[in-house]
Chains A and B, each alone.
Chain A
């Protein structure tokens, strides 16, 4: 009996060991991509020069390129990738559904609509605090509306259909604003919200988005125990002491805050919240709680990589990073639908 117990705890520690590399490994990978992101562009800088410039040494031109042009962009890619991915993982945990993602529920589209509408109406300018707040409110309204329509134990089909309706409506609203734009320049500015991009961001953008994103990450991470208990369904989770209603509201708030702040400075970048959690799930043995941090790191890595890729792809005009994530994300989404086909068609998964 004792030997058996020892063998068991030994196997447990081996398993824990093999997973212990996950977060540090991902962290190193993200750090590497971060440095590469600072080196890629019209003036290519090797990592040694990037690090020198970061430390305030090296050529003055390099310091300006790294600090003023590329650092805001890299910080935003890191933060936005993380919060979109953790938002997706949290929403999936809440709804117990691997196909739940903020972008499928129309959250970024609604945030973009709120941002565009307040700018068109002259309430906000593009660098004011009102902008992320409006975007957050837009995202919150869409997710709240969606969960209200779909109901408590919503099936996949219902959620996706309602999400389609919400995102179509928000998209139409944004296009309407573009349509009514007084001049082509205003229309071009609105198009920015439809095409997510991290180009030409300044530290001002970082200041606007980062506090909300940090708060959102913290808020969602604190709910992790609830997501794990929800694996047993809402009744069992509630009987274990999980405040299910509060968890639902906090999750919507966290997702809305992250997505809204991200959209306010980068436009709509879709599918990170779907892909990153899915890639990480096998490494955490499908635990919706332990998924959150690896998913966030994976999201950072994905968005940093996508933002590096758009700078390296030879094209006459700049490809927007939001377009790239969608081009990769949609086939991936189709693949997930095929996998989840059984539960979509109403059978038991």
Chain B
């Protein structure tokens, strides 16, 4: 896989005429797990949706130096996998049929008629997420953690070079938070560009290769976790102070107390 690249130049996104995201410029390359963080209302989800092609934007958005607008619908669906927050399913479809929807951009309309290649990809996605045992279960009867992993398997089955995940670890227990982030990091190691919106600064600091910090609709910092998650930055954007740990040379960070920047 060629390492994909997303380029944003002066991207502004309006919802109902109001600019939610303004003047964002970023250049993100494949092979990295990028955590997109920021306080509530910072515009993280809006930016992610625009990158997924779900919201119109002003400014330049390009994949591998090719304008996003020039991609056909299906082509873009194969390039960018998008995992929305909430993991909603409206029908009690069997879990394996949900995962099979990941092959939709590749022309798979009927999950009962899969080519050997497609079913291998679906099985592999379910193996990676540890959901093989759930194949026949109705998606609406799964627990939160199971459903989150099925949805992750669904987006992995797209095999898109760019993977956008909106709060993939929200409402998961600690083990599944780590499992999901670990899967995302493995995907990045294989050359994909993985961008995950998260509120979990501890996980972001521990797992991400790069952090993009947003506040008030703009990107205020972007770089390696140590640089972005400085005491000053945390106080300015979140109004908190963090406890810092060192575990065998690996730095850790725990949001500790409210502290407004003077």
Which residues of A does B touch, CB under 8 Å? 5, 8, 16, 96-97, 224-225, 228-233, 235-236, 238-243, 285-290
Contact = CB atoms under 8 A, between A and B. Distances in A.
Contact of A285 (B82, B83, B88, B93): B93
Contacts of A97: 90
B93 A231 contact: yes
Given A238-B54, A239-B81, A241-B73, A232 B101 contact: yes
Nearest to A11: B136
B180 interface: no
Contacts of B77: 239-241
Contact of B93 (A16, A224, A235, A286): A286
B130 to A, nearest CB: 15
A232 B88 contact: yes
Contacts of A225: 104, 109
Contact of A233 (B53, B84, B104, B123): B84
Contacts of B83: 236
A239 B93 contact: no
A231 B151 CA distance: 12
B91 interface: yes
Given A239-B77, A241-B76, A287-B93, A232 B154 contact: yes
Nearest to B138: A286
Given A5-B123, A228-B93, 7 more contacts: A232-B84, A233-B84, A240-B77, A240-B102, A241-B73, A241-B78, A285-B93
Nearest to A240: B104
Nearest to B102: A240
B110 to A, nearest CB: 7
Nearest to A236: B84
Contacts of A224: 109
B200 interface: no
A241 B105 contact: yes
Interface in B90-113: 90-94, 97-98, 101-102, 104-105, 109-112
B80 interface: yes
A230 B82 contact: no
**A233, A243, A288, most chain B CB atoms within 10 A:** A233
Given A238-B54, A240-B77, A288-B91, A231 B110 contact: no
Nearest to B100: A228
B221 interface: no
Given A16-B112, A224-B109, A229 B92 contact: no
A285 B81 contact: no
Contact of B91 (A5, A242, A287): A287
Contact of A230 (B84, B90, B98, B151): B90
A236 B102 CA distance: 10
A239 B90 contact: no
Contacts of A96: 90-91
B94 to A, nearest CB: 6
A5 B119 CA distance: 11
B74 interface: yes
B247 to A, nearest CB: 36
B54 A231 contact: no
Interface in B166-203: none
B90 A233 contact: yes
B93 A240 contact: no
A95 to B, nearest CB: 9
B241 interface: no
B97 A229 contact: no
A16 B113 CA distance: 10
Contacts of A231: 89-91, 93, 98, 101
A241 B54 CA distance: 10
Contact of B73 (A8, A228, A243, A286): A243
B49 interface: yes
Interface string B59-89: 0000000000000011011101111101011
A13 B82 CA distance: 31
**A225, A231, A289, most chain B CB atoms within 10 A:** A231
Contacts of B154: 232
Contacts of B112: 16, 290
B152 interface: no
B97 A285 contact: yes
Contacts of A5: 123
A240 B78 CA distance: 8
